[in-house]
Amino acid sequence: MDSLIADAVKSGTPIDGADGLLNELTKAVLERALNSELTHHLGYEAGDPAGRGSGNSRNGTTPKTVTTVNGPVRIEAPRDRNGSFEPAIVPKKTRRLNNINSVVLSLYSRGMTTRDIEAHLAEVYGASVSRELISNITEVVVDEIKAWQSRPLDEVYPILYIDGLRLRIGDNGVITTKV
């Protein structure tokens, strides 16, 4: 995460857009969250000997392009050998991000507990996401969120204030709107 920010500052990479820093951060967060979700599904960490002989294991990744509010992001989605892994964050055969991860992170950053987030997702989106998965999502990306929040800021940010007043004015019996 820190290396992404440092590289972007050095190279003059734009913050938003298809090749922007936000898309790189989105890619990193999505891939970490998907790997965390697969770990939850399998019940063991990558490389853990407990997974040997379990009947299901990690089976590499598959490239996938998802459309976010900042543009398309190409991610490497993890797979399992049996094909039973159904990610909730970026579901199979989905090309548009359904924002469950951003909703979870947003609610978590506002101080909601995992139980509150689980109930909110079920009520509003009809998505059944376990508390363990919500906890895994927040644990994986909390370090990246803290690093992003503590990044150095530019010394000067240009700000442009624009103000207007629209009035309906009567002139020679005709009412017109003037700004």
**pLDDT tens-digit readout, 20-34:** 677 777 888 888 888
Does residue 116 sit within a domain? Answer: no
The CA distance from 37 to 154, in Å, is: 35
Is the overall model pTM greater than 0.85, yes or no? no
Distance of CA 76 to the CA centre of its chain: 14
Candidates 127, 142, 46; CA nearest to 89 is: 127
Highest mean pLDDT range out of 35-44, 68-77, 125-134? 35-44
Does residue 169 sit within a domain? Answer: yes
Does residue 115 sit within a domain? Answer: no
Range of the domain at 60: 2-92+139-178
Q: What is residue 171's three-state secondary structure?
A: strand
Q: Which comes out higher in pLDDT, residue 144 or 27?
A: 27
148 and 135 Cβ atoms separated by less than 8 Å:
no
Give Cβ neighbours of residue 57 (< 8 Å, ≥ 6 apart): 42, 51, 80, 81
Does residue 99 sit within a domain? Answer: no
The CA distance from 45 to 51, in Å, is: 8
Does residue 114 sit within a domain? Answer: no
Does residue 108 sit within a domain? Answer: no
Does residue 21 sit within a domain? Answer: yes
> How many structural domains does the chain have?
1
Does residue 134 sit within a domain? Answer: no
pLDDT digits (tens, 9 = 90+) for 46-90: 888 877 878 888 889 999 988 776 678 889 999 998 888 888 878
113 and 10 Cβ atoms separated by less than 8 Å:
no
